[in-house]
Structure 1
Amino acid sequence: MRRQTATGGINPAGSSRGLRLDPLTLPVSFAARDSRADGGVRQIELHRERVTLHRVVHGMQMTINVRVKEFIGVTVRDTPEGRALVLLHRDPSLAIPLLVTEDATERAAAWQTWSEILALPQLADDKRDPAPRRRRSNAISERRPTFLVRRRSGDLLNPASVYRGEREIIARN
């Protein structure tokens, strides 16, 4: 008979305790959920100056180093586990959970402490969807090819537009 081991995940079976990281004990290493990673878990190392993410995607091991300065700030988000304090990045896959709790006073105190320790702003809870990406116009599509730039453009049906007011010269023998 084989011994059963814990299945992958953040908390062991039966644990009802949410994620709680202490900002005063940095550096810290912990596991967090990642829907795109194999096993649904990624390892995070959080330091005062940098964050290192380790994850496996489709069998390929990745290590991503991000400076703390590159994060936007600390905010509160709704997650399946409850309200979470999150270190927010422009890339949503790089956002890092710091605290998961329903206690508003504990969350507010942790929010202030994390913001001061990491020297990042406290961002308001933003529930709106991100703005759609702006579609850039293609200036090249409206330009004429270089070999045609030297030629005059005109209308074949209206010969007057070809000559643009110049007098037509007809050569005779």
Structure 2
Amino acid sequence: MTHQAEATANLIARDPRADGGQRQISIAADAIAIDRRVAGVRMRLALPIRAFRGVSLAMVENAHGCFYRVTLDHRDPDLTVTLAEARSENEIAPEWKAWAQFFQLPRLTLGLDQKMTVLDRSLGELALGAVQPRKRGWPLKQRRSKISAFRKAGPNGRVMAVFREREIVCYE
């Protein structure tokens, strides 16, 4: 199944917890919808594409030999969606690249040791870089309140003092 011809695609995937052992997955360029029944209750889970880490390629070994699998990878393994499988690396590589372009997600590789490696350092037109640390861990946090920690410094690099006036009202 090629993704070029489909604006939305419907797949049937194995789901051991669902009634009948299957779930239906609807794939669009901006969202994934997962439909299944559990104990007779119909469930629908809609996920935006940005909730997924990327499109991963993994080599899988089973009793019949090795094959390659392309998945839309999510942090929760139950939400990972299998997009394509093939025996040959030459067959699966174009599918892997095409799905990553379709979803505008980075390509990932999953080794036999289950370690994920990011192959592309871009997310569409956006270049991915190292995550910047948050201000929470800075050393002067104990000396200043949370609000004043984010206040801009005054002249000469000092924090300007905040003065309050209290108005005394007498109704006599």
TM-score (norm 2): 0.59
In the alignment, which residue of structure 2 is the partner of 1:61? 42
AA in 2 matched with 1:88: D
Deviation readout 1:28-55 (Å, 9 max, x if unpaired): 1121111221111100100000000001
1:26-65 mapped onto 2 (5 Å cutoff): 26-65=7-46
Larger-Rg structure: 1
CA drift of 1:108 comes to 0.5
How large is the Cα RMSD of the aligned pairs? Answer: 1.8
Is 1:128 the equivalent of 2:121?
no
CA drift of 1:26 comes to 2.5
In the alignment, which residue of structure 2 is the partner of 1:118? 103
Deviation readout 1:127-167 (Å, 9 max, x if unpaired): 3358xxxxxxxxxxxxxxxxxxxxxxxxxxxxxxxxxxxxx
Determine which structure has the larger strand proportion and give its number.
2
In the alignment, which residue of structure 2 is the partner of 1:140? none
In the alignment, which residue of structure 1 is the partner of 2:69? 84
Name the SS of the counterpart of 1:52 in structure 2. Answer: strand
Name the SS of the counterpart of 2:102 in structure 1. Answer: helix
AA in 2 matched with 1:47: A
CA drift of 1:85 comes to 0.8
Between the aligned partners of 1:79 and 1:26, the Cα distance in structure 2 is: 32
AA in 1 matched with 2:74: H
AA in 1 matched with 2:3: P
What stretches of structure 1 of length at least 5 have no aligned partner?
A: 1-20, 131-173
In the alignment, which residue of structure 1 is the partner of 2:83? 98
Greater RCO, 1 or 2 (C-alpha within 8 Å, sep 6+)? 1
- Report the CA distance shift for 1:112/1:129 in structure 2 as closer, same or farther (over 3 A): closer
In the alignment, which residue of structure 1 is the partner of 2:156? none
TM-score (norm 1): 0.59
Equivalent of 1:109, from 91, 94, 101? 94
Identity of aligned residues (%): 29
Between the aligned partners of 1:65 and 1:43, the Cα distance in structure 2 is: 12
- Report the CA distance shift for 1:102/1:76 in structure 2 as closer, same or farther (over 3 A): same
